[in-house]
């Protein structure tokens, strides 16, 4: 799981200074490619990079209308970028994600983008989602995509689970609701599912037959690739 945080830092030295002087001063340090919390005996890999001229556009697209013009302007003027690396396990890493993204925020970080699914958040929304319920956690690290033949999710590998895909025969809003509910069902209930099983989100709603397929939309080395596959939901006749 890789998190992208642009900030005003002109170079690596300025980023280091911002980290170590963030109150309470000295609580965090950046050295050897690690952002460390010595008193907590904890650290995460951090890659510092120079400014990217396409960063504001990337946040605009990944934010799906949720990133303000003011924030996008600040991103346009960013001086450098911090990339935080976590294990691909959001529930297990949650407290560490909160801790380490918060110190980068306080050191000047402007907003956060989840590189391993392509969704971006303002800090207020990011904090609210990470401190919320299971669906909030899901929304922090998953996004929905509309393809030519299927609507599908991207980001369920952060929970160690397959994506969900539904034919575009459905209305986009209805498809989004179905995908979100199915994915939440996976996260909360961790059901035993196999190809050929059928599911329904309620007694009155349509039933779907499940087929587990490989994630063929992304190469294996792509950050978006889900090694757990994709559940394809096909309406039962």
Q: Residue 202's pLDDT band (boundaries 50, 70, 90)?
A: confident
Q: Residue 122's pLDDT band (boundaries 50, 70, 90)?
A: very high
* pLDDT, average across residues 206-214: 94
pLDDT of res. 206:
86
Q: Name the least confident of 102-106, 149-153, 163-167, 197-201.
A: 197-201
Is the pLDDT reported for residue 129 higher than 80? yes
pLDDT of res. 111:
98
Q: Catalogue all structural domains in the chain, each as residue range(s) with its CATH number.
A: 2-134 (3.30.1400), 143-235 (no CATH)
Q: Residue 19's pLDDT band (boundaries 50, 70, 90)?
A: very high
Q: Which residue has the higher pLDDT, 147 or 198?
A: 198
Q: What is the mean pLDDT of the chain?
A: 95
* pLDDT, average across residues 46-62: 97
User: 3-state SS string over the chain?
Assistant: CEEEEEECCCCHHHHHHHHHHCCCCCCCEEECCEEEEHHHCEEEEEEEEECCCCHHHHHHHHHCCCCCHHHHHHHHCCCEEEEEECCCCHHHHHHHHHHHHHHHHHCCCCCEEECCCCEEECHHHHHHHHCCCHHHHHHHHCEEEECCCEEEEECHHHHCCCEEEEECCCCHHHHHHHHHHHHHHHHHHCCCCCCCCEEECCCCCCEEEEEEECCCCCCCCCCCCCCCCEEEEEECC
């Amino acid at each position: 799981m890789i998190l992208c945080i642009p900030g005003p830092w002109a170079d690596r030295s300025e980023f280091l200074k911002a980290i170590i002087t963030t109150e309470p001063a000295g609580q965090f340090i950046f050295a050897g490619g690690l952002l460390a919390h010595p008193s907590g005996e904890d650290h995460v890999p951090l890659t510092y990079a120079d400014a990217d001229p396409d960063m504001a556009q990337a946040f605009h697209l990944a934010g799906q209308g949720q990133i303000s013009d003011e924030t996008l302007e600040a991103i346009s003027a960013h001086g450098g970028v911090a990339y935080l690396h976590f294990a691909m396990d959001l529930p297990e890493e949650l407290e560490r994600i909160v801790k380490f993204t918060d110190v980068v925020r306080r050191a000047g970080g402007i907003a956060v983008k989840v590189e391993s699914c392509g969704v971006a958040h303002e800090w207020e929304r990011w904090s609210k989602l990470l401190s919320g319920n299971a669906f909030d956690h899901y929304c922090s690290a998953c996004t929905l995509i509309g393809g030519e033949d299927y609507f599908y999710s991207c980001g369920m590998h952060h929970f160690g689970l397959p994506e969900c895909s539904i034919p575009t025969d459905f209305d986009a809003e209805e498809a989004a609701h179905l995908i979100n509910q199915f994915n939440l069902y996976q996260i909360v209930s961790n059901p035993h599912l196999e190809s050929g099983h059928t599911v329904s989100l309620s007694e009155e709603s349509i039933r779907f037959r499940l087929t587990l397929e490989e994630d063929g939309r992304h190469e294996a080395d792509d950050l978006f690739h889900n090694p757990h596959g994709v559940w394809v939901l096909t309406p039962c006749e």
